[in-house]
Amino acid sequence: MRIIVCKNYEDMSRAAAKLVASQITLKPDCVLGFATGSTPIGLYKELCAMYGRGEIDFSAVTSFNLDEYYPIRKSNPESYDYFMKDNLFSKVNIPSENIHIPDGETEVPEIECLNYEKVIESCGGIDLQILGIGVNGHIGFNEPDINLSTKTHVTELSQSTIDANSRFFDSEDEVPRKAITMGVSTILKSKKIVLLASGKNKHAVIKELLDEKVNTNVPATLLNVHRDVTIICDEEAYYGDDI
Ligand code: F6R
């Protein structure tokens, strides 16, 4: 596991954008895995700026998002579908038919999960997966538990995640209680993984992740078994109060 410690959020976002841009330069028809939440917003802003300057071309890129609330309308500004359009897809030239986000509107989520796995495989797997990390160590919506599901599945959000994500909704009651998420194997099958973390509230979990142990109660620690993970974090996430 490599770690790149950046001065602040802006530097972290720029460093991540450079890695994504290199991936697209090396393999223009690459498959990218995207995350949502507050952490990658700066990365998406940088990618849009690079695209605007003619530095990257998304015309052959395929994307898969990690997760989506369930159930949720795509028109809901808090849906990850809406988030991705707003922050990235409406601003770069990625073809809409190449974009994949779990369908929060489906009436048959189990079928959606099976298909999602199949489509990832039929595209040759994910070349570069971007991850954020929950304060409780979740990746995607793989919440702390004794057993973790390996493939894309429907999951219940933990109270800690509902609390953390209520900041995006008018009230906690409006946070959907379920989500469709890639499973831990879906994530670990990605060829490269880049995990972003910013802010003091992520310090404890980053420390645990760097402890080189695997513990399903901190799902991100499973990344320790992967051969190509880069953590890009800011000084607050890395040093916490010792900054
Ligand atoms: C989002 C996702 C989540 C977030 C995590 C951190 O697609 O998969 O695991 O990455 O909840 O969220 P933020 O970045 O808002 O702290």
DSSP 184-204: HHHHHTSSEEEEEE-SGGGHH
Q: Does the annotation count 208 as an active-site position?
A: no
3-state secondary structure of 229: strand
Between the CA of residue 163 and those of 77, 160, 166, 240, what are the distances in Å?
Answer: 18, 5, 5, 21
Check 67, 68, 103, 112 and give the catalytic one.
67
Position in ligand 1 atom list of the atom nearest CA 132 = 10
pLDDT value at residue 120:
98
Q: Does the annotation count 143 as an active-site position?
A: yes
Q: Is residue 211 part of a domain?
A: no
Q: Is residue 194 part of a domain?
A: yes
Residue 140 in contact with ligand 1 by CB distance below 6 A = yes
The CATH number that applies at residue 36 is 3.40.50.1360
- Assess whether the previous peptide bond of 71 is cis (omega < 30° from 0): yes
Query: Do residues 190 and 203 lie in contact, with contact meaning Cβ atoms separated by under 8 Å?
Result: no
Distance of CA 3 to the CA centre of its chain: 17
Q: Is residue 61 part of a domain?
A: yes
Q: Does the annotation count 136 as an active-site position?
A: yes
201 φψ region: left (φ > 0), alpha (ψ -120 to 50), beta (else): alpha
Query: Do residues 234 and 18 lie in contact, with contact meaning Cβ atoms separated by under 8 Å?
Result: no
Residue 166 in contact with ligand 1 by CB distance below 6 A = no
If you take atom 1 of ligand 1, which residue's CA is the nearest one? 36
Q: Is residue 212 part of a domain?
A: no
CA of residue 67 to ligand 1 center, whole Å: 10
pLDDT value at residue 203:
98
Q: How many CB atoms lie within 10 A of CB 159?
A: 12
Q: How many CB atoms lie within 10 A of CB 179?
A: 27
Q: How many CB atoms lie within 10 A of CB 54?
A: 7
Q: Is residue 204 part of a domain?
A: no
Residue 129 in contact with ligand 1 by CB distance below 6 A = no
The Cα–Cα gap between 8 and 234 comes to: 5
Instruction: Give me the tens of pLDDT residue by residue for the chain, a chain 243 residues long.
Output: 999 999 999 999 999 999 999 999 999 999 999 999 999 999 999 999 999 999 999 999 999 999 999 999 999 999 999 999 999 999 999 999 999 999 999 999 999 999 999 999 999 999 999 999 999 999 999 999 999 999 999 999 999 999 999 999 999 999 999 999 999 999 999 999 999 999 999 999 999 999 999 999 999 999 999 999 999 999 999 999 987
Range of the structural domain that residue 133 is part of: 2-199+221-231
Q: How many CB atoms lie within 10 A of CB 27?
A: 14
Check 65, 76, 98, 136 and give the catalytic one.
136
Q: Is residue 137 part of a domain?
A: yes
Q: Is residue 116 part of a domain?
A: yes
User: Burial, 240: exposed, middle or buried (Cβ in 10 Å; 0-12, 13-18, 19+)?
Assistant: middle
Residue 112 in contact with ligand 1 by CB distance below 6 A = no
Check 68, 98, 138, 165 and give the catalytic one.
138
Number of domains, the chain: 1
pLDDT value at residue 243:
75
Q: Is residue 210 part of a domain?
A: no
pLDDT value at residue 74:
97
